[in-house]
Copies of this chain bind each other. A is one copy, B any other.
């Protein structure tokens, strides 16, 4: 078959997985091609440069988060929070993968500008979603916390990303401890 394959999608899928596992700098065309049973140049056909592939990976992640936001739009505040936390725990359970934003942030200075800015855009979207959730959750008396919702959103989003990473070092219970504390501190 030489036309209408799903190779392009598979490349992005695998690249996403590899970035969450080992970071963008460690991602190689060899890893992808050997796992897909294709040649190196086949990837360059779909994504001329590694940067092109990287940008596409992060863009697709933003799309996925757009879908997530739409899917939970009818949920209650606590349900939304739990849904978000569950997604992160799935990364953890998948051989200690981390989140895309954390992966891009920690390798920030080794990734091309376009990926940097796309990752920044992604984080801003997540942080805004969290801020809105906390703000409305507080006004509806679902969540209780002091200070500005934006600051609380900063704290929670960073704690979750950091929690995933630290769980690699000392075990998954660390992530659960972070989540437990976050939830506890949102209760009355």
> B-contacting residues of A (Cβ < 8 Å)?
21-23, 25-26, 96, 98, 101-110, 116, 119-120, 123-124, 127, 145-147, 150-152, 154-155, 157-163, 165-166, 168-170, 174, 177-178, 180-182, 184-185
Given contacts A23-B25, A147-B184, A180-B147, contact A106 B107 (CB under 8 A): yes
B146 and A184 within 8 A (CB): yes
The answer for the CA separation of A152 and B98 in the assembled complex, in Å, is 21
Taking CB atoms, residues of chain B closer than 8 Å to A106 are: 23, 98, 102-103, 106-107, 165
Q: From DSSP, what is the main secondary structure of chain A's interface residues?
A: helix
Chain B nearest Cβ from A94, distance in angstroms: 12
Choose from B150, B152, B158 the contact partner of A166 (Cβ within 8 Å). Answer: B158
Taking CB atoms, residues of chain B closer than 8 Å to A162 are: 102, 157-163, 165
Taking CB atoms, residues of chain B closer than 8 Å to A101 are: 166, 169
Chain B nearest Cβ from A124, distance in angstroms: 6
Minimum-distance CB pairs A-B, first 6: A162-B162, A158-B162, A106-B106, A105-B165, A159-B159, A154-B177
Chain B nearest Cβ from A89, distance in angstroms: 14
The answer for the CA separation of A159 and B178 in the assembled complex, in Å, is 9
Given contacts A25-B26, A106-B102, contact A151 B166 (CB under 8 A): no
Taking CB atoms, residues of chain B closer than 8 Å to A159 are: 155, 158-159, 162
The answer for the CA separation of A105 and B171 in the assembled complex, in Å, is 12
Chain B nearest Cβ from A92, distance in angstroms: 12
Taking CB atoms, residues of chain B closer than 8 Å to A98 are: 106
